[in-house]
């Protein structure tokens, strides 16, 4: 989906993705003990309507939610208020976003496919450079799979990753977790499947 489509979806009163956070948020907490969360800076790249951003804020992270559609950010702020917490927001395109500061956690789910293949090396370089030494990137993206067809709501501005591509951008980091799987989806009210790759990688101390 492009910016116009997302804006139209997010202008509707209901939360398109729901208010319950994605299961990936629990995986993040496995690698950051409760006692180490306070004051850690987390950026959610492609925050949508804020369901994961608000979850992280409730855990004690200082959260910056990044989203291309302003209506999504407005709903994210509203959701934060409903939960008696706060988040910062920034309107930007994941395809060329520049991270405004150094973060302890860079998190992205369902958005990395918008980075055009020719820009991926550059963009992942920016993300890695703006991650604090010893801390993590948590990335989830859609990948090619011989048993999975292109989703019916897949946009012309979205590009699948090769199965091993995402982790290749982190070959100089410590790979803490990697998993590829297929799941059922009903977005656009049309049942279909996605193949995804999840990685969690830590920036080693010997990289500035």
What value does the mean pLDDT of the chain take?
Answer: 94
pLDDT of residue 28: 94
Q: Where are the domains of the chain?
A: 3-202
What are the E-state strand segments in the chain? 41-45, 62-67, 88-91, 103-109, 131-142, 174-185, 192-202
pLDDT of residue 18: 94
Helix, strand, coil share of the chain (percent; to 5): 30, 30, 40
- Taking 50 as the pLDDT cut, the residues of the chain under it are none
pLDDT of residue 208: 59
> Which CATH number is 3-202 given?
3.40.50.150
Distance CA 73, CA 80 (A): 10
pLDDT of residue 29: 94
Q: Are 77 and 50 in contact (CB under 8 A)?
A: yes
Per-residue pLDDT of 26-56, as tens digits, reads 999 999 977 889 989 999 999 999 999 999 9
pLDDT of residue 149: 87
């Amino acid at each position: 989906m492009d910016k116009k489509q997302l804006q139209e979806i997010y202008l509707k009163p209901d939360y398109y993705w729901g208010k319950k956070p994605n299961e990936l948020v629990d995986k993040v907490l496995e690698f950051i003990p409760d006692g180490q969360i306070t004051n850690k800076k987390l950026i959610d790249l492609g925050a949508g309507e804020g369901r994961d951003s608000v979850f992280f804020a409730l855990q004690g992270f200082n959260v910056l939610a990044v989203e291309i559609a302003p209506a999504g950010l407005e709903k994210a702020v509203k959701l934060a208020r409903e939960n008696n917490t706060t988040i910062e927001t920034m309107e930007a395109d994941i395809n060329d976003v520049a991270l405004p500061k150094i973060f302890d956690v860079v998190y992205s789910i369902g958005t990395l496919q918008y980075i055009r293949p020719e820009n991926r090396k550059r963009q992942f370089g920016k993300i890695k450079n703006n991650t604090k030494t010893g801390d993590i990137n948590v990335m989830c993206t859609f990948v090619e799979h011989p048993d999975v067809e292109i989703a019916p709501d897949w946009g012309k501005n979205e590009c699948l990753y090769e199965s091993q591509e995402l982790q290749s951008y982190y070959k100089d980091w410590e790979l803490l977790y990697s998993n590829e799987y297929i799941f059922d989806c009903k977005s656009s009210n049309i049942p279909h499947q996605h193949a995804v790759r999840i990685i969690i990688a830590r920036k080693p101390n010997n990289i500035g």
